[in-house]
Amino acid sequence: MFFDNTWLDIAARAAVLSAIGIVWVTMLIRIIGLRTLSKMTNFDFVVTVASGSLLAGAVQASEWTAFAQALLATAALFFVQFLIAKGRRASDAFEDAIQNGPIFLMYDGEIIEEGLKTSRVAKSDLIAKLREANVLEFDKVRAVVLETTGDISVLHGDHLEDRIIDGIERP
């Protein structure tokens, strides 16, 4: 690509293609917005992982066509994510069609066995998340929710407002 000397060419490609790739991804994120790197939905997570993989492929390219294809594929992926985010904001039906809903694992201090079974979360994993959230008593846990991103939210305290858990099917 750059030099006849193999080692010199490898070093030059690594430096130049990495720099161009990082600038390209940064530019796309600046244009499309920080939402690009969020993990708000399962699709966002997939886009983040895929864009990292595409960037890795781009910096390892041995031909300009492969490099360009990886950069253009990254742009296309970000654009599709942008369109899906706009669709989700515009239509609840569209959002319901492409995204799983959150699941209760605990509610009002009680473990929801059906939620654990459906989500394939072990009780020991749930207990570990409670410890991470500094829960000292089951009675203080208002809800534990497996979010659409795979994260687990632990809501504890004296009171839980209904709008915090709006849209989650109650046990």
Contact 168, 104 (CB under 8 A): yes
Residue range 66-91: mean pLDDT, rounded? 93
Round to whole Å and give the CA distance between 38 and 17: 25
Structural domains of the chain ordered from first start: 6-96 (no CATH), 103-164 (3.30.240.20)
pLDDT at 41 over 90: no
Name the 3-class secondary structure at 118.
helix
Locate the DSSP E strands across the chain.
Answer: 103-107, 110-111, 141-146, 152-156
Taking only the tens place, the pLDDT of each residue in 142-168 is 999 999 888 899 999 888 898 999 888
Taking only the tens place, the pLDDT of each residue in 125-141 is 999 999 999 999 999 99
Round to whole Å and give the CA distance between 157 and 110: 14
Round to whole Å and give the CA distance between 19 and 84: 29
pLDDT higher for 38 or 51?
Answer: 51
DSSP per position, 29-68: HHHH-GGGG--SSHHHHHHHHHHHHHHHHHHT-SSHHHHH
Q: What is the pTM of this model?
A: 0.72
